Amino acid sequence: MKMTKRQFPLAGFLPQRIRDWDDAFLIQTGLLMAMRIIGTGLGFFFWLAATRLAVPDAVGHASVLISAAMFMANIAQMGLGYVVLRQLRHHPNPSALINLILVLIAGLTVVLVSIAVGTMTVWFPQEPTNRVLVGGILLLLTMSLALAQIVNWIFLAQQRLRFSLYKQVGQASLALVLILLLRPLGGFVAIMLAYTLAVIVVTLVSIGMGLPKVIPHYQRTLVWAQWPHHTFRKDALPNYLADQLQRLPDMLLPLIVVHQAGAQLGAVFFIMWSLGSSISSWTSSTADAFLREGIYHPEQLVTLLPRVLMTGVGLTVGFGSLFALVSPILLPWYGQTYAALGQPFLLLLLIGNIPWVGTTLLITLLRIQQRPMAVLLGLLLSNGLGVVGISLLLPYGLTVTGWGWILVQSIVGLALGCFVWFTIRYRRHHVLPNLAHETHPDG
């Protein structure tokens, strides 16, 4: 969808070659990427302060708890973000739909955290000295993360991503300030309280002040009768399962590494994985923008797909190369343990991002076309086999583990690319509908 000068004032100052790319997809990609880059930059200083404040064991324990909270927050989504994306603009009562989704997510979060606290001796590296305090922090953090994620979906659906940018900057900045203020409380407690309080405060502000600004005539009402049952069953649940597979490495690998290799190597893995995956997170902003534009404007898929692939892979190579150059300067800031053990693994992760991002973009195309079985199979091969491979290769060291990750992602990316090409070439009317009647968006 072409953006006019009124919608994007800077268009008049751009060269014609750049102005031709001035559209909703690239603008949303830029906002999403800016949000993630700023969050990663401030997050770098947060974890830098954490590594200076606490011993590696404490950082490893905090990373396990935060990973567990993220994992449960993602489960609590139940694919409802896709309900928002497909139904919000058509729903007769947007306020009731959003409020009902918030209540469902909050309720499921309580159930999930209750189970997690009851089984903490199984998945947490050591018995917490104060289970009630740790459980309370886990509940508040998980619920805030879950609600924050659905709010981001709302901002994306309404094309108000600048609110997500404000939210991300505020959360990361507040967490950094709090960890410095809470240093006297001790390493693990200071890390968890700073991270949790920042998420809580920014999420409450986003719900209380952000939603009324992006939803016309927003009211705090609940109407179950207007729940889109068909969309939830046909679209949300399959995408919910796909989301869990897509986030599987980020959620499970820190837990697996800590249990297999100990808290110290787990801390190194967590920091390197966070840095490496931040690059793929930045560049996979193209996938989120592609999803929104593809759902709202399916007639433009032919035009969008090659640009999406070129943009996503190009950004991955560019950012990865830059990050590889600065990593010898960056990593010693965390400590010599992180620099010595982590740098080769980080470089391998940056290489593995290239096929991983390509796979993510192709899977996004299948999501838009509502082909859930192909989406699930692609993610199962990419992330499921990736997690299994890392688990099996971990005893041989992080370098061997990194090469295994690259191999899995390259094979799966190539196979999925061949599948999509075959589908476009021989079954074009299924993947890219209405080609015979398509008109270029420029008219």
| The pLDDT of residue 317 | 92
Best CA proximity match to 313, nearest among 359, 347, 362, 354? 354
Across 316-354, b (16+ Cβ under 10 Å) vs e yields bbebbeebeeebeebbeebbebbbebbbebbbbbbbbbb
Q: Are 88 and 158 in contact (CB under 8 A)?
A: yes
| The pLDDT of residue 438 | 40
- pLDDT per residue of the chain (443 residues) written in tens, 0 to 9: 444 443 444 344 334 443 444 467 777 777 888 887 787 777 778 888 888 887 777 887 888 888 889 889 988 888 888 888 878 877 778 888 888 889 989 999 999 999 988 887 777 766 666 677 788 889 999 999 999 989 988 988 887 878 888 888 888 889 989 988 988 887 788 888 999 999 999 999 999 888 888 888 888 776 665 566 666 667 777 878 887 777 778 777 877 887 777 777 777 888 888 888 878 877 878 888 888 888 877 777 777 788 888 888 898 999 889 988 988 888 888 777 778 888 888 899 999 999 989 998 998 888 888 788 888 888 888 888 888 888 888 888 888 888 999 999 999 999 988 888 887 766 555 444 443 444 333 33
**DSSP letter for each residue of 92-146:** S-HHHHHHHHHHHHHHHHHHHHHHHHHTHHHHSSS--S-HHHHHHHHHHHHHHHH
| The pLDDT of residue 231 | 65
Other CB atoms within a 10 A radius of the CB of residue 397 amount to 14
Query: Taking the complete model, does pTM exceed 0.85, yes or no?
Result: no
Best CA proximity match to 161, nearest among 152, 173, 172? 152
| The pLDDT of residue 223 | 65
- Give residues with Cβ within 8 angstroms of 190, minimum separation 6: 53, 54, 179, 182, 183, 184
- Give phi and psi for 2, each to the nearest 5: -70, 135
Which 3 state secondary structure label does DSSP give 23?
A: strand
Sign, CA torsion 30/31/37/40: negative
| The pLDDT of residue 162 | 81
CA atoms within 13 A on the CB side of 336: 0
Q: What is the largest CA-CA distance in the chain?
A: 67
- The Cα–Cα gap between 267 and 344 comes to 15
Q: Which two tokens stand for residue 403?
A: 């090469």
Q: Helices (DSSP H) in 331-427: which residue ranges?
A: 336-368, 372-379, 385-393, 398-426
Q: Are 286 and 311 in contact (CB under 8 A)?
A: yes
Domains of the chain: which residue ranges? Answer: 23-246, 263-443
Q: Helices (DSSP H) in 233-335: which residue ranges?
A: 237-246, 248-261, 263-283, 285-296, 301-330
Length of the chain (residues): 443
Best CA proximity match to 282, nearest among 95, 32, 78? 32
Query: Cα(first)–Cα(last) distance of the chain, in Å?
Result: 11
